[in-house]
Chains A and B, each alone.
Chain A
Amino acid sequence: AQSVAQPEDQVNVAEGNPLTVKCTYSVSGNPYLFWYVQYPNRGLQFLLKYITGDNLVKGSYGFEAEFNKSQTSFHLKKPSALVSDSALYFCAVRDPDSGGYQKVTFGTGTKLQVIP
């Protein structure tokens, strides 16, 4: 069975500092990995995905994520945090080798607070 873990419920970072939101996963095959962001009282918005190829993936709003197969991680990063980045971030995984309908499993979310 596939799973995804976001070990931090909340991450605090000062505006202008680099930020990292952590995600680890478990799948039987090669994973498809996704990051989504949720602003208050809104649905989730797709940020970026890793399917294959370069381990460093760039996405919307200056975010990027690094796929590390040996550590089974897919951490979300941004070089310089903005107050407007404050939101809830979800990591998600899909196992394309699982057969049938390949369900997406979401993490429990990490609240990012950027402090002015």
Chain B
Amino acid sequence: DVKVTQSSRYLVKRTGEKVFLECVQDMDHENMFWYRQDPGLGLRLIYFSYDVKMKEKGDIPEGYSVSREKKERFSLILESASTNQTSMYLCASSPAGVGYGYTFGSGTRLTVV
């Protein structure tokens, strides 16, 4: 069964901490994405990557960075966590091309205190 695996289901961090969210896919997909999900706002794209070492800003990149050193792994970094970054974070991947749906991970619920 194909999978997108997010390293943590629940995470609690303190304000100002540097936070790493890891995502690994085993489908050899070219594209990988990070979204945050908030009630009433749906999914908002933070960053995406269409190739190793490539990254593009999404709709809400402020306060975040990403790293993709290997094709299967896409990391989201919160440089200095703040309480307004408390959210559900979803990683997704897809093959190259426009007609494909996304495969999502189970999500990481991050609480910043």
Stretch in contact with the other chain, from A11-19, A70-78, A79-87, A95-103: A95-103
Interface presence of A68 (CB below 8 A): no
A104 shortest CB reach to chain B, Å = 7
Given contact pairs A103-B45, A108-B41, A108-B42, A41 touches B107 in the complex (Cβ within 8 A): yes
**Set of chain B residues within 8 Å of A101, measured between Cβ atoms:** 48, 50, 56
**Contact A45 B104, CB 8 Å, known A90-B42, A106-B42:** yes
Does A43 lie within 8 Å of B106, measured CB to CB?
A: yes
Q: Are B99 and A44 closer than 8 Å at their CB atoms?
A: no
Tell whether B4 is near chain A: CB-to-CB under 8 Å: yes
Instruction: Check A32–B99 contact: CB distance below 8 A.
Output: yes
A-B contact count (CB 8 A): 53
B102 touches A (CB below 8 Å): yes
Which residues 23-81 in A have Cβ within 8 Å of B in the complex?
32, 34, 36, 41-46, 49, 51
On chain B, the residues within 8 Å of A36 by CB distance are 101-102, 104
- With an 8 Å Cβ cutoff, the count of chain A residues facing the other chain is 22
How long is the Cα–Cα vector from A104 to B43 in the complex, in angstroms?
10
User: Do B4 and A43 have beta carbons less than 8 Å apart?
Assistant: yes
> Binary interface profile of B, 77-111, with partner A (CB < 8 Å = 1, else 0)?
00000000000001010000011011111110100
Q: Which chain B residue has the least Cβ–Cβ distance from A42?
A: B106
Q: Which of A92-116 contact B (CB under 8 A)?
A: 94, 96, 101-104, 106-109
Question: Cβ of B92: which chain A residues have Cβ within 8 Å of it?
Answer: 43-44
**Complex contact B50–A43 (CB within 8 A):** no
User: A106-B42, A108-B41 are known contacts. Are A46 and B99 too (CB-CB below 8 A)?
Assistant: no
| Contact surface of A with B, Cβ cutoff 8 Å | 32, 34, 36, 41-46, 49, 51, 90, 94, 96, 101-104, 106-109
Which 6 A-B pairs give the minimum distances between C-beta atoms?
A: A43-B104, A46-B101, A108-B42, A106-B43, A44-B104, A96-B98
